[in-house]
Amino acid sequence: MIYRVYSARSVNQGLTCLNEIWQNLYIMHFLKRLYRRVNHLSYGLRQRLMPLGGWLLGAWVAAGAFGFNTRVGMTYQLFVLLTLLFATALLASRFGKLPVAATRQLPRFATVGEPVRYRLRLHNQSPRIQSDLLAIEELREMSSAPLERLPTYRQWSRLTALARGAQTRMQSLPPLPPNATTEAELTLIPLRRGWLEFAALQMARPEPLGLWQRLFRQPLPDRLLALPRRYPVPSLHFHDGRRYQRGGVSLAQSVGEEDEFVGLREYRPGDPPRRIHWRSFAKRGEPVVKEYQDEFFVRYGLLLDSFAADIDEARFEAAVSAAASIAAVERGPEALLDLLFVGDRAYCFTAGRGLGQTEQLLEILACVTPRRDQPFSHLLSMVAGHAAELSACVCILLDWDEERRQLLNLLRSQGVDIVALVIGPPRMPPEPGIRVATVETLAVELARLKL
């Protein structure tokens, strides 16, 4: 909420200003608590009410409103009847237990916005069949960003779902045979990247009247990593500019300009004949090959601007999605890809040619957080020490200003090909050739991106 700032010319004006701010803070705090309670109540009712129970609950409220005066009509009799029905349903649902034990089989990853399916193993520990069961996941609410203004109730419901991390719903389970194990498939849709924290599994069983269902909660902690949302991006087609890599890459094999002789080793199946050291072969009677160290190869950079001092959360998430989309692009077996960003310190993660997989870069991007308390110079100093090794670099920027212009000029001075995408709108017009995308047009701009 935005408050007016008064120029206090007197003590009374200053006290009036402070009183207004305090009242606005109190009202916001009160409404947030009210939203939370109402949301919790409505969420609990949606879980427990059967479809017939929902219709009859509406009729019960209407009968109570119109049947308040018992002398005018007979609507109060319907109110009494529905009250007895709900009281009976609630009483019947309190008896009995659910002798079912469950375990999850989660996949390794999920992706934001895409349904993820996983298996649920259910063991019926009773000699009777268990049918008409429903299941829903209970997720822990993670801490969310502080609110700058008071949202509407619908926006608050959306924020609550984002805090849980995924969209869940009641899903039917197959009949469980007595003393047997059955598998079922559940589905959820991640709403934000990062870790989804499962707290428990709730199973519901309806009471005989079909109005109400009782929830049985089984603590079942688990974790699932949701990767950033990704969009289609054209393949990487930079020029094949090999750069000298000081010290080489220890795990890079069979590709590149072999410039430095390391030593001799025993022959391995698949070694090319041109590497055989014939003198040693003649002395030992066993094939011996020359081993080289790769010093020249193609290395691309993917630079993520994480400095979001005045940037909203949606723009930063769009930047992370853009970086994840580019990291997942096919780039050929010979190239390395360095992910560069600044978190609590400067990071450089490399994938390709045995050093790491694309999935590892996506895991890292799933946990990236914006930096709102560090100067942009940290990123400049990291790029300055790394630019000489890069053949090309894709820069995902959160804004356009003089510091970011210096960053691109630094890369150009080292002969690095640059493709820059600014997640805008920027504060000042960027240079020609630099693309600008908004949260709404990100997918279109990435599809048009020419690398």
**Strand (E) or helix (H) holding 40:** helix 11-48
Secondary structure of 370-393 in HEC code, one letter for each residue: CECCCCCHHHHHHHHCCHHHCCEE
Bigger pLDDT: 26 or 286? Answer: 286
Give ∠ CA 319-325-330 in degrees, rounded to 5.
150
| Partners of 258 in the β-ladder | 294
Q: Classify each residue of 216-252 as buried b or exposed e, where b means 16 or more C-beta atoms within 10 Å of its C-beta.
A: beeebebebbbbbbbbebeebebeeeebebeebbeeb
Confirm if 174 and 53 have CB atoms less than 8 A apart. Answer: no
Q: How far apart are the first and last CA of the chain?
A: 42
Q: Determine the residue type at 366.
A: A
> What is the spatial distance between Cα 49 and Cα 56, in angstroms, rounded to a whole number?
10
> What is the spatial distance between Cα 238 and Cα 380, in angstroms, rounded to a whole number?
23
Which range, of 11-15, 93-97, 347-351, 433-437, averages the lowest pLDDT? Answer: 11-15
What does the pLDDT read at residue 231? 92
Rounded (to 5) percent helix, strand, coil in the chain: 35, 30, 40
**Strand (E) or helix (H) holding 327:** helix 313-327
Mean pLDDT of 424-445: 87
> What is the spatial distance between Cα 400 and Cα 26, in angstroms, rounded to a whole number?
38
Cα four-point dihedral sign 413, 416, 417, 423: negative
Mean pLDDT of 339-363: 77
What does the pLDDT read at residue 255? 39
> What are the tens digits of pLDDT across the range 149-204?
555 556 656 666 677 788 888 899 999 999 999 999 999 999 999 999 999 999 98
Mean pLDDT of the chain: 78
Q: Classify each residue of 399-409 as buried b or exposed e, where b means 16 or more C-beta atoms within 10 Å of its C-beta.
A: bbeeebeebbe
> Is the pLDDT score of 12 beyond 70?
no
Cα four-point dihedral sign 331, 337, 343, 344: positive
Domains (range + CATH), the chain: 52-95 (no CATH), 96-227 (2.60.40.10), 229-451 (3.40.50.410)
Helix (H, G, I), strand (E, B) or coil at 424: coil
What does the pLDDT read at residue 295? 53
Q: What is the largest CA-CA distance in the chain?
A: 117
Secondary structure of 118-186 in HEC code, one letter for each residue: EEEEEEECCCCCECCCEEEEEECCCCCCCCCCCCCHHHHHHHHHHHHCEECCCEECCCECCCCEEEEEE
Q: Where are the alpha helices (DSSP H) in 165-296?
A: 278-284
What pTM did the predictor assign? 0.73
Mean pLDDT of 37-65: 78
Question: Alpha carbon of 149 to those of 24, 40, 146, 301, 371: distances in Å?
Answer: 11, 21, 9, 38, 22
Bigger pLDDT: 344 or 174? Answer: 174
> What are the tens digits of pLDDT across the range 253-303?
433 334 444 566 777 777 777 777 677 767 777 787 766 555 556 788 899
